[in-house]
Chains A and B, each alone.
Chain A
Amino acid sequence: MRSLSFFFVFLLSLFPILCFSFNPESPTDRRVLVLLDDFSLKSSHSIFFNSLKSRGLNLDFKLSDDPSLSLQRYGQYLYDALIIFSPSTEKFGGSLDLAAVIDFVDSGHDLILAADSTASDLIKNIATECGVDFDEDSSAMVIDHKSYAISGTEGEHTLIVSDDFIQSDAILGETKIEAPVLFKGIAHSVNAANSLVLKVLSASPSAYSANPESKLLSPPLLTGSAISLVSVVQARNNARIMITGSLDLFSNRLLRTAVQKSGSQDKYDKSGNELFVTEISKWVFHERGHLKAVNLRHLRVGETDEPAMYRIKDDLKFSVEIYEWSGKSWEPYVADDVQVQFYMMSPYVLKTLSTNGKGLYHASFKVPDVYGVFQFKVDYHRLGYASLSLSKQIPVRPFRHNEYERFITTAFPYYGASFTMMAGFFIFSILFLYNK
């Protein structure tokens, strides 16, 4: 009996290790909640889900109106990422709603949202909160009469083909996606003024968003390359969101079909969908393109400790270490465009850091001839990579009374005048006393 209780206590103490909680040392997401309209999606999208599982992700499938749904318990988030494959859901079950999903993303977690022609207002509102606007017409789909997929049936050209990818190795991986991607769903647009949203897959210039069953009465609002088929958002806290208007993009059917674009002779045995969704999901779940900057250090040349204050015209050395997450470990990040600013209201010094190849970036410069409270700032925002924003404050003092040169050159006339006055006084008093 006593040995049994000891055994239980031992098992309980292992609990913290057994719960794989989200670890800042290992930023790849582990536990993912997948919301589905019905469980047939598990089999119709099995290739995608199996590829996620093979990368080590724990998928938790739930129906979107399951009353036991919750993202948090006792203030802790239960999942690292959320996949919403339930486009027609009007209301989530349990404690999940629009505000809960937005809070989840605001706290730094990732989201994949797929809509389709049955998209409800809830799904469209989640997308709007993330910076992406779906077409307001709920019966509209993306139609392209010049860039559609040639299939057996004539169709309304809603199954379209696109290869207008964003140029980014971080988001789409290093292998070039040869075959174009098949898409069937609704259009969304992205505000060009928003610098956090990127169009990963745009429609061709001949695409437009309209109801395929009825006649077109007025020119469609969304046309051409302004239509985004797949967009990603990287928030300022590095949460990543992928939004697309086609749930079929991930389906087994489109992943396995052969593709031939209308008007071209190239036939591909397999569409680019599988490579595309695999690479994008790697980016969204932080297996790629995630940077961390540590050990921001500065010191005066010739010393080993960080001083509490600099003096103007001091020589100093600045260094920072930047690492990139490779999916399994932190590798040194190598780039030649990381810059540091010595900033007080505006950058007095802007230097490009040089690297030693092992992730250490360093630069040396002279403190400017201005005193005040400065900041060392490293702001690094590159397409597809996590944004780095570091700053460290340091005061800079002017020369002390005894740090000037002993006789200041510009003051020589004043020295001369004072001594001349003394000599004049002496000569004057002689003349005054001894004149006759």
Chain B
Amino acid sequence: MGRASSKEDAGALFHSLRSAYAATPVNLKIIDLYVGFAIFTALIQVVYMAVVGSFPFNSFLSGVLSCVGTTVLAVCLRIQVNRENKEFKDLPPERAFADFVLCNLVLHLVIMNFLG
């Protein structure tokens, strides 16, 4: 009786999450996809380092940091662009996107330098 209900609860939870997520705007979904891609690339690099060893450690850090930095900047963009967010109601989304582009330029400059 308890188990059956917890399974049903899990199923119900999953369905409600899915339907709520389906209601988000398309541009936020694109950002989420982008973040997912960056995390996936970071995971591949960590697994590769665990297998091969950390020999050019600076290159490893540079690769992982580019993924992590991209993730962080994309999340910041998502927060600022999301219309349901009360905190950034007055911020024009173009301004948020401009900040995002500039930060990414700095990030990739640093990454290229540290890559070795």
Contacts and interface: CB of A to CB of B under 8 A. Distances in A.
Interface of A: 408, 410-411, 413-415, 417-418, 420-422, 424-425, 428-429, 431-433, 435
A4 B104 CA distance: 103
A431 B112 CA distance: 24
B70 to A, nearest CB: 5
Q: Which 10 A-B pairs have the closest CB atoms?
A: A414-B63, A411-B59, A417-B63, A414-B59, A411-B56, A421-B66, A428-B34, A418-B66, A408-B56, A413-B48
B11 interface: no
Contact of B63 (A410, A418, A424, A432): A418
Given A424-B37, A424-B38, A413 B101 contact: no
Contacts of B31: 428, 432
Nearest to B53: A410
Q: Is the interface of B mostly helix, strand, loop or mixed?
A: helix
Contact of B30 (A411, A422, A428): A428
A424 B60 contact: no
Contacts of B45: 413-414, 417
5 contacts: A415-B63, A417-B44, A422-B66, A424-B70, A435-B30
A424 B34 contact: yes
Contact of B66 (A410, A417, A435): A417
- What size tier do the contact residues of chain B reach? 20 to 34
Contacts of B38: 421, 424
A422 B97 contact: no
A425 B48 CA distance: 23
Residue with the highest number of chain B CB atoms closer than 10 Å, among A421, A429, A432, A433: A421
Given A429-B101, A432-B27, A417 B34 contact: no
Contact of A433 (B34, B97, B115): B97
B70 A414 contact: no
A415 B60 CA distance: 9
Given A408-B56, A424-B37, A413 B44 contact: yes
B56 A410 contact: yes
Contact of B116 (A411, A421, A431, A435): A411
B41 interface: yes
Contacts of A415: 59, 63, 115
B55 A408 contact: yes
Interface string B17-46: 000000000110011001001100110110
A413 B45 CA distance: 7
Given A421-B38, A432-B97, 16 more contacts: A410-B52, A410-B56, A411-B60, A414-B115, A415-B63, A415-B115, A417-B44, A418-B63, A418-B108, A421-B66, A421-B108, A422-B108, A425-B108, A432-B27, A433-B97, A435-B27
A410 B58 CA distance: 12
A413 B41 CA distance: 10
B86 to A, nearest CB: 22
A433 B96 CA distance: 12
Contacts of A431: 30
Contact of A421 (B30, B41, B53): B41
Nearest to A421: B66
Nearest to A428: B34
Nearest to B60: A414
